[in-house]
Chains A and B, each alone.
Chain A
């Protein structure tokens, strides 16, 4: 029976959250289309994870492979390639994550399948895929489509809610794939980020600066606001990339996830990869020149204006109140 396939993402023996999010979407599609939810689990030492997944899928396809202690796109591509040719799913979902970004495009090219990346919503209508994805740093969305019998999408994290996952019974099926050698790309080791001087994840108040701060010479301004509020400085990726602030201050997918009582975003546009790291903050204030900046979608309060004018005034008012 044809199905909606989900590639299980796991690392160091643990299933990653994106997997459950994709399964939630797969269950929804499965009910409306009358097809199976099939989870594909590739790696080593998988039996625990297979049992964890089984209740929520009609079928868990398990490929235990030698030498696959960590993710490697080349053998993954081989296993998925064989499975897709054999089982012809209507849709294959892969996370739009570091793994998925490494795997999905070459897999789709190898099998001559259409791929829509970084989708936050999608569905199938009369066999045709429609998918919504953002462009231009989140300022516009696009609807893309494909009519091919099998399509691949990579799924944006946080797009679907795993709370609604239902138990559907299901079975575990071992699959045997004779892998060709894959000597061109070898995993050597993981490297953890060194701990920084300041742990921004513990702060109650964060003043975070983006590219709009203009340069390191202007950081003092943000620092003053942080000091007045008893908070710490953090930043978006470009600020860390340019070394205006150390990497351990970066908020977002590839940085830290923070949940302070107050998060102030100064000159940050609100790209998805940033928002993921701060949207759970108690109170979010964004100051940005651009009224269309996506950051205003997640902020509770917004000021449309020049941070170089607003911040000094704000520092003065905060000091006034604290002193009084």
Chain B
């Protein structure tokens, strides 16, 4: 069994005041903390578990710069067997299609029974690379997978629908699944574990090595500009010391008839 996992390194923005850079199309990334995309950590854990159960070979792949190798190292520390990074100056500002296109070009020549991706990347939120990649490879896919069992040449998966409803599907391998958060509990990776794989080779490939022309990875959808989202009414922000704020809120609760 050969499992390929696609990983993306993303900025952690929950507590950050994001700034747009002078191009108007990118955020300023200096000083931002970066992490493995949360959804991908579930996909990676799922792959490592399959390896532990059945001796699969796990290959991890990212399309990104040198600093993005961090997430590949983390994967190697967790037990991935091989790591590949695709990088090319002509891949600046790729759209979801361009990412899927280069991934397909690489993966078509790798043995693959199972391809795992995250449901979405926390930064762009496209939820698009996975099923696009499956289509380009001509293999079936299922998104939003919350449980995955392999039996013979097929997988039985649960997909999350809305409001707690799920569906069960049977999918022939090779197949691609986008993994939803909560499917497993991703294990902790120690700094020491990551250091231990510091010397492991990470293969780096550009467009030429993949046999791709730059025209083939031109974005189909252009990102024109980033802007602050439209604001609704917005909350009335209660300011002051902790005691004062708590007092005001308790008063609001009382006025609103909740206490």
**Chain A residue total in the interface (Cβ 8 A):** 101
Q: Are the C-beta atoms of B132 and A109 separated by less than 8 Å?
A: yes
21 contacts between A and B (CB under 8 A): A102-B159, A109-B135, A115-B97, A135-B125, A137-B14, A143-B225, A145-B221, A146-B220, A183-B172, A185-B140, A185-B169, A188-B169, A204-B258, A237-B181, A254-B160, A284-B235, A285-B249, A290-B15, A297-B231, A303-B238, A322-B259
Kindly supply a per-residue 1/0 record for chain A positions 132-145, scoring 1 wherever the CB is within 8 Å of any chain B CB and 0 otherwise. Answer: 01111111111111
Q: Which of A205-244 contact B (CB under 8 A)?
A: 205, 211-212, 229, 237-238, 240-243
Q: Which of A27-64 contact B (CB under 8 A)?
A: none
User: Given A192-B165, A294-B229, A301 and B259 touching (CB < 8 A)?
Assistant: no
B160 proximity list for chain A (CB < 8 A):
98, 254
Q: Are the C-beta atoms of A296 and B234 separated by less than 8 Å?
A: yes
Q: Which of A114-160 contact B (CB under 8 A)?
A: 114-118, 130, 133-146, 148
A283 proximity list for chain B (CB < 8 A):
252-253, 256, 258
B131 proximity list for chain A (CB < 8 A):
73, 101-102, 105-106, 109
Q: Are the C-beta atoms of B163 and A313 separated by less than 8 Å?
A: no
Q: How many A-B residue pairs have CB under 8 A?
A: 275
Q: Are the C-beta atoms of B164 and A254 separated by less than 8 Å?
A: yes
Asked if B189 CB lies within 8 Å of chain A CBs, one says no
Q: Are the C-beta atoms of B135 and A141 separated by less than 8 Å?
A: no
Rounded to whole angstroms, the CA-CA distance of A189 and B227 in the bound complex is 43
Q: Are the C-beta atoms of B144 and A102 separated by less than 8 Å?
A: yes
Q: Which of A248, A254, A297 sits near B232, CB closer than 8 Å? A: A297
Asked if A68 CB lies within 8 Å of chain B CBs, one says no
B258 proximity list for chain A (CB < 8 A):
204-205, 229, 261-262, 283
Q: Are the C-beta atoms of A310 and B245 separated by less than 8 Å?
A: yes
Q: Are the C-beta atoms of A193 and B223 separated by less than 8 Å?
A: no
Q: Are the C-beta atoms of A191 and B236 separated by less than 8 Å?
A: no
Asked if B247 CB lies within 8 Å of chain A CBs, one says yes
User: Given A301-B252, A313-B246, A139 and B18 touching (CB < 8 A)?
Assistant: yes
Asked if B62 CB lies within 8 Å of chain A CBs, one says no
Q: Are the C-beta atoms of A189 and B172 separated by less than 8 Å?
A: no
Rounded to whole angstroms, the CA-CA distance of A294 and B226 in the bound complex is 16
Q: Which of A70, A115, A229 has the most chain B CB atoms inside 10 A of its CB?
A: A115
Q: Which of B152-205 contact A (CB under 8 A)?
A: 156, 158-172, 175, 181-182, 185
